Structure 1
């Protein structure tokens, strides 16, 4: 039995802690804040409750596997997991509206044909078939296996099988999502639908590789799911599973350094000077982890180098406490697309908050989130520049942008302003304070392609030191963070020869 110190109580860290405890190790989690869950947060006031991080879950199999491997209770015994239908309603700039069924390719094709015109659904359906090929080619190396030592091969070829397209007497193939939208989908609304899946993950749809087609594929193939009581309930369930497996949590404990002895990690140093000895240390994001190990390079020239977290975008979340009941026929999620698709992407190109952002509106029909049936809790979310690129602390900046988001959301839910009792506006500054992520940025998932996104390996050059969470392989998102924990646990329990789940 080894002593293992885990830095932070995010979802990836807790997933690793639970698996390591089941393997017989003594695991202690040191969290500088007062609670668990990392970015999976909650805001509560006056009987209202709001998810301030992810609102829905994709790839629930990751957490089903976690609960199967760490105890006899399956996931569905500890949380009420329900499939959202429709998966989302989309409101486009020209006023077109379409509700897309959950995990039904035929249903989506039919809905798009009816809303956008004959042929639109088939083009989207054909795109999903090609996206599945990209998923099949990259699923194992990007989600289920430790980062390959020769990870460079993941960036050598575009895994998306683009359709040949004749342009200016030349035959071209789409290499970006924008080109897929223009050349293969051939409808600006379908292009916006595709772009939104990238934007929601903090990926620039204008320059994202075609391989990012796996993002809409994951949702269409495996569905989108909600946890009754809010996604925060998933974090609670993982935390309680850890506690049942004898994982110890120390809250209010800031780790200020990783102790090294005889060329390997030997514990952590806490604020105030106390040292907790350990044979293994599971750390936070690689960029921040480097600051905890003085005078040592954790990643060599052949590794994926950690990137400054604040170069990626963050999110503004507006929590709305509304008077009046949720009307019949309301859907859980509505995406209100920007009327200025190009301007919406200025957050990536110029580091400015978009004047007319794409806004995701979450209206869960969940009594646990409202004081009574005569009120409603609504969450608005928009992708924005991080606090390093944009001054969210400037007087009036946050409220002005929240006003813009509410105005956009009223295209889908008329009368929001008149129904609002109060609101809570949360910017990347809140994310930075609560999770430690530089600039309050949100990590994107890994994407294999010449212009893709790869994150540093879960292992480091310092023996015994590992990294779990969205800033490590395989990247951001609830499912990916959960898989990072599984990979770290495998590398510690089975050693460097671990090759992932079979």
Structure 2
């Protein structure tokens, strides 16, 4: 039985802790804040409850597997999972609207044909077929296996089978998601639909590889799910599973240094000077935090994938409304900007700042557990913004929040008349919760793009030290966090020969 110190209590870290405890190890999680879950938090006020992190879940099989491997009670006995239907409603710049059914290619094709015109659905359906091929080519090496030592194979190969496109007497294939949208979808509304998936993950579709097509495919193929009571309930369930497996949590424990002995990780030191020895250390923290903990120690070998600072974050506006939610309201509505180029330049350009005309995602769960009574509604708005840690921009984010509320009025009638109060959660709040510079949100790992979209491997050049969570393989997002936990547990339990679940 090994002693294992886990730094951070994010979803990936807790997933690793539960699996390691079941394998017979003594696991202690040290979290600098006073709660668990990383960015998966909750705000409660006046009988209202809001997720301040992710509001929906894709690929729930990752957490089903976690609960299957760590106890007798399946995931569905611990949380109430609800498939969201329609998966999403979209309001485009020209006023066109479409509701897309959950996990139904035929239904999506029919809905797009009816809303956007004959042929639109077929082009999107054909795109999904090609995206599935990209998914099949990358699923295992990107999600289910430790990052290959020869990861350059993933970096150089574009898995998306782009359609040949004749341009200026030359035949080309789309290399970026924006080119896929322009050359294969050939409709600004379908382009907005595709590029919106990238933007929601903090990716610039102008430079994101065509391999990013797996993001809408993943949602299409495996559905969109809501955890009744909010996604924070999933974090609660994972935390309780850890406790049931005798994982110890020490909250308010800020790790300031990684201990080394005989050339390997040997424990952690805290802000008060106390130390905890360990045979293995699992770090579920942002790259800048990890770099401070291992100052002077090279934890990545020459030529390894290096984590880059994420450029994008999220601005979240929580709305407490009087009046019941109409029964025909969509759970998720995306209101697309009329100025997509301007938005992308604002978020990812050389002088980043909140977009004047943002794309806004409106979540209206209709969950009675989130409101004081049926005469009220809890609504969450999110927009992608540049990462920014300084609170000196609070005023500009407040103005941006007002812009977002104005956008949401298009789909929530009488919103301002119904508004009791609202709370703005900025990138600085995310930075405080997660430790990520500027409140940056890690994107999922993607193939191609010369490896720029890959995250560093879970194993490190320092024996005994492993990394877990969104800033390491296989990247950001709730499903990917759970997968990283499985990979780290496998590497510790089975050793470097571990090749993933079969």
TM-score (norm 2): 0.98
- In structure 2, relative to structure 1, the CA distance for the partners of 1:419 and 1:136 (3 Å cut) is same
Separation in structure 2 between the aligned mates of residue 14 and residue 395 of structure 1, nearest angstrom: 32
- 2:479 aligns to what SS in structure 1? helix
Corresponding position of 1:125: 125
Separation in structure 2 between the aligned mates of residue 268 and residue 164 of structure 1, nearest angstrom: 54
- 2:260 aligns to what SS in structure 1? strand
- 2:53 aligns to what SS in structure 1? coil
TM-aligned CA deviation for residue 294 of structure 1 = 2.7
Separation in structure 1 between the aligned mates of residue 301 and residue 397 of structure 2, nearest angstrom: 40
Separation in structure 1 between the aligned mates of residue 356 and residue 413 of structure 2, nearest angstrom: 20
Separation in structure 2 between the aligned mates of residue 51 and residue 286 of structure 1, nearest angstrom: 25
CA RMSD of aligned residues (A): 0.9
TM-aligned CA deviation for residue 365 of structure 1 = 1.1
Could you tell me whether the CA contact under 8 Å between 1:285 and 1:467 is conserved in 2?
A: no
Corresponding position of 1:177: 177
Could you tell me whether the CA contact under 8 Å between 2:208 and 2:449 is conserved in 1?
A: no
Residue by residue over 1:70-124, the C-alpha shift from the partner in whole angstroms, topping out at 9 and shown as x without a partner, is 0111100100001000000000000000000000000000000000000000000
Corresponding position of 1:385: 386
Instruction: Indicate the larger mover: 278-287 or 489-498.
Output: 278-287
TM-aligned CA deviation for residue 289 of structure 1 = 1.2
Corresponding position of 2:315: 316
Separation in structure 1 between the aligned mates of residue 307 and residue 163 of structure 2, nearest angstrom: 34
For 1:371-450, list aligned pairs within 5 A: 371-387=372-388, 392-394=391-393, 396-450=395-449
Separation in structure 2 between the aligned mates of residue 491 and residue 417 of structure 1, nearest angstrom: 52
Residue by residue over 1:176-235, the C-alpha shift from the partner in whole angstroms, topping out at 9 and shown as x without a partner, is 111111110000000000001001100111221100000000000000000000000000
Across the two proteins, how many residue pairs are aligned to each other?
498
Q: Where does structure 1 differ by over 4 angstroms across 4 or more consecutive aligned residues?
A: none
Separation in structure 1 between the aligned mates of residue 430 and residue 71 of structure 2, nearest angstrom: 32
- 1:453 aligns to what SS in structure 2? coil
Separation in structure 2 between the aligned mates of residue 409 and residue 22 of structure 1, nearest angstrom: 46
Corresponding position of 1:264: 264
Corresponding position of 2:164: 164
Structure 2: any 5+ residue segments left out of the alignment?
A: none
Corresponding position of 1:9: 9
Separation in structure 1 between the aligned mates of residue 128 and residue 203 of structure 2, nearest angstrom: 19
- 2:21 aligns to what SS in structure 1? helix
Corresponding position of 1:252: 252
Could you tell me whether the CA contact under 8 Å between 2:288 and 2:436 is conserved in 1?
A: no
For 1:331-342, list aligned pairs within 5 A: 331-342=330-341
For 1:89-168, list aligned pairs within 5 A: 89-168=89-168
Could you tell me whether the CA contact under 8 Å between 1:319 and 1:379 is conserved in 2?
A: yes
Corresponding position of 1:277: 277
TM-aligned CA deviation for residue 413 of structure 1 = 1.3
Corresponding position of 1:499: 499
TM-score (norm 1): 0.98
TM-aligned CA deviation for residue 395 of structure 1 = 5.3
- 2:37 aligns to what SS in structure 1? coil
Separation in structure 2 between the aligned mates of residue 68 and residue 395 of structure 1, nearest angstrom: 44
TM-aligned CA deviation for residue 290 of structure 1 = 2.1
- 2:55 aligns to what SS in structure 1? coil
Could you tell me whether the CA contact under 8 Å between 1:286 and 1:456 is conserved in 2?
A: no
Could you tell me whether the CA contact under 8 Å between 1:323 and 1:376 is conserved in 2?
A: yes
Could you tell me whether the CA contact under 8 Å between 2:18 and 2:245 is conserved in 1?
A: yes
Could you tell me whether the CA contact under 8 Å between 1:336 and 1:360 is conserved in 2?
A: yes
TM-aligned CA deviation for residue 288 of structure 1 = 2.2
Instruction: Indicate the larger mover: 164-173 or 241-250.
Output: 164-173
Separation in structure 2 between the aligned mates of residue 177 and residue 42 of structure 1, nearest angstrom: 33
Residue by residue over 1:341-387, the C-alpha shift from the partner in whole angstroms, topping out at 9 and shown as x without a partner, is 11110211131110000000000010110000000000000000011
- 2:212 aligns to what SS in structure 1? helix
- 2:146 aligns to what SS in structure 1? coil
Corresponding position of 2:224: 224
Separation in structure 1 between the aligned mates of residue 413 and residue 97 of structure 2, nearest angstrom: 15
Separation in structure 2 between the aligned mates of residue 101 and residue 381 of structure 1, nearest angstrom: 22
Could you tell me whether the CA contact under 8 Å between 1:287 and 1:306 is conserved in 2?
A: no
Separation in structure 2 between the aligned mates of residue 106 and residue 59 of structure 1, nearest angstrom: 20
Separation in structure 1 between the aligned mates of residue 481 and residue 287 of structure 2, nearest angstrom: 14
Residue by residue over 1:104-145, the C-alpha shift from the partner in whole angstroms, topping out at 9 and shown as x without a partner, is 000000000000000000000000000000000000111000
Could you tell me whether the CA contact under 8 Å between 1:326 and 1:376 is conserved in 2?
A: yes
Corresponding position of 1:367: 368
TM-aligned CA deviation for residue 392 of structure 1 = 4.9
Separation in structure 2 between the aligned mates of residue 379 and residue 69 of structure 1, nearest angstrom: 34
Separation in structure 2 between the aligned mates of residue 18 and residue 89 of structure 1, nearest angstrom: 37
Corresponding position of 1:195: 195
Corresponding position of 1:28: 28
- 2:397 aligns to what SS in structure 1? helix
Corresponding position of 2:459: 459
Separation in structure 2 between the aligned mates of residue 414 and residue 93 of structure 1, nearest angstrom: 18
Separation in structure 2 between the aligned mates of residue 20 and residue 498 of structure 1, nearest angstrom: 14
